Structure 1
Amino acid sequence: MARILVTGSTDGIGLETARTLQAQGHEVAFHARSAERAAGLGGEEVLVGDLASLEQTKALAAAAGKFDVVVHNAGIGGQDERAMTGDGIERTFQVNVLAPYVLTALMPRPQRLVYLTSGLESVGVADLADLQYERKPWHGMQAYSDSKLHDVALAFAVARLWPEVYSNAVDPGWIKTKLGGANATDELPIGAATQVWLATGAGDALVTGRYFKWRQQLRPNPAVNDRAYQDGLLRACADLSGVELPL
């Protein structure tokens, strides 16, 4: 059985993923952004850290220890207005992209990494010159789509640079959660199934540098295969966080 961390696992897809893995007998650590949210999980092992804070994200990485698998599930949706974190970084980019980058770079290298993305990565724009919407007009849904494109690029970059690690990206679908909204078409178990499959390395899940939805491999936005874009994104994340991805 594996030791697995699922970020953003106090509700929604993250909670469903963690509970399913736990039911299979795996040792699962949950993650909450605050002590208040952690308290709702009862006696589970819970790591606490707000991913909108670089200090807390780095502390989370230091406290986490060694895991066989990390599922980077935590994220936020499109914001109505451009908002900055206490680190002076645009919030959507910091939570959805920079935080999983920092955790990946600082935590001991696991056997398997799963990064949650969205089908909206298909309309994301790989604009390394303005990752934080400092110059172009703010558009919350586009910023979200861009962040999900960056997540796929991050997964693919790690797969390329760390060939001993299985690193993949997952679109869970339009799932009935707080983020998905009342009109979403699919139930929680569907949204968690692919992450569970990849996390356990079951059957034909031991692959890397792939993009999946519902356990089917899909073709992502072509931009994610551009090594210059991958490397530029890693460099931007390193510059913003002060943390280099070890090679």
Structure 2
Amino acid sequence: MILVTGASTGLGLATAEALAAAGHRVVLHARRADRLTTPAVAERMHAVVLGDLSDADATVDVARQANALGRFDAVIHNAGVIDGPVTAVNVIAPYLLMASLTPPDRSIVLSSGMHRSGSPDLDRAFRGRGDYSTSKLLVTTLAFALARRSRILSHAVDPGWVPTRMGGRGAPDSLEEGHRTQEWLATADPAGIEPRTGGYWYHRQPRAPHPATVDPAFQDALVERLSRVTGLELPSG
């Protein structure tokens, strides 16, 4: 069973649809029921969970809904915003889900090539609503922290600049390529994935991320800050 967040439209919907078509049991997350494009989408899914990931309590409730369905093989943290409450949706929500869900086997977060221009200044990052590049730097760091601190196979994916509502019609990258990597990481035999955990991927190829993201001290500082902000601890061991 695979949970895909932010899957009512765009890249998330394409990911959920492709996984369901391949025979996987997919749980689609949407902010609200009316965000689903057609009733047929929900019918193709194993289940649908609802909640606004910009709100901490609603995010924990999404985890509660998901836990009621059973343990997940993988969680694809697709939900994201480019403006507005970017820290809440892009960073705090994935942390809250991983701290609240029964630990899955795998976790895949969506990063961005723009994470390389983000700031590793945590005080700045958690001041106000944050900025997109920094939020992607932090969620990439979170993925690597989870890979180092737990048994969960955890990766970050740059899907490219794809033609979605967020990316715009003129985006130059392929929408299909934009979701293939996270599907592969969620379902492939781990023996065929190198690195097995803690990878930063672009179109199924490992790439070098921002140096701060692989710094254990920075990873620990981020996890400690998120623990203080949310009052929850990540799974470990």
TM-score of the superposed pair, with normalisation by structure 2: 0.91
For residue 244 of structure 1, report the CA deviation from its aligned partner.
1.4
Matched-pair contact (CA < 8 Å) for 2:4–2:12: yes
Residue of structure 2 in register with 1:155 after alignment: 143
Residue of structure 1 in register with 2:221 after alignment: 232
Equivalent position to 1:205, from 168, 180, 193: 193
The reply to whether residue 116 of structure 1 matches residue 116 of structure 2 is no
CA distance in 2, matches of 1:192, 1:246: 27
Matched-pair contact (CA < 8 Å) for 2:119–2:125: no
Residue of structure 2 in register with 1:85 after alignment: none
Residue of structure 1 in register with 2:5 after alignment: 7
CA distance in 1, matches of 2:6, 2:111: 14
CA distance in 2, matches of 1:119, 1:199: 21
CA distance in 1, matches of 2:53, 2:171: 26
What is the total number of aligned residue pairs between the two structures?
Answer: 227
Structure 1 portions without partners, runs of 5+: 80-90
Matched-pair contact (CA < 8 Å) for 1:128–1:229: no
For residue 228 of structure 1, report the CA deviation from its aligned partner.
1.6
Matched-pair contact (CA < 8 Å) for 1:7–1:71: yes
Deviations 1:76-111 (A, max 9, x none): 0134xxxxxxxxxxx110000000000011101111
Residue of structure 2 in register with 1:29 after alignment: 27
Structure 2 portions without partners, runs of 5+: none
Matched-pair contact (CA < 8 Å) for 2:9–2:36: no
TM-score of the superposed pair, with normalisation by structure 1: 0.87
CA distance in 1, matches of 2:153, 2:23: 21
Q: Which amino acid aligns with 1:55?
A: D
The change in CA–CA distance for 1:39 and 1:192 in structure 2 (over 3 A counts) is: closer
Residue of structure 1 in register with 2:122 after alignment: 128
CA distance in 2, matches of 1:175, 1:218: 18
Residue of structure 2 in register with 1:98 after alignment: 92
CA distance in 2, matches of 1:42, 1:153: 32
Q: CA RMSD in A?
A: 1.6
Q: Give the secondary structure class of the aligned counterpart of 2:64.
A: helix
For residue 123 of structure 1, report the CA deviation from its aligned partner.
0.9
CA distance in 1, matches of 2:222, 2:141: 8
Q: Which amino acid aligns with 1:158?
A: L
Deviations 1:100-141 (A, max 9, x none): 00001110111111000000011111111222335xxx9x7x
CA distance in 2, matches of 1:63, 1:200: 22
Q: Give the secondary structure class of the aligned counterpart of 2:227.
A: helix
Residue of structure 1 in register with 2:51 after alignment: 49
Equivalent position to 1:196, from 169, 180, 183: 183
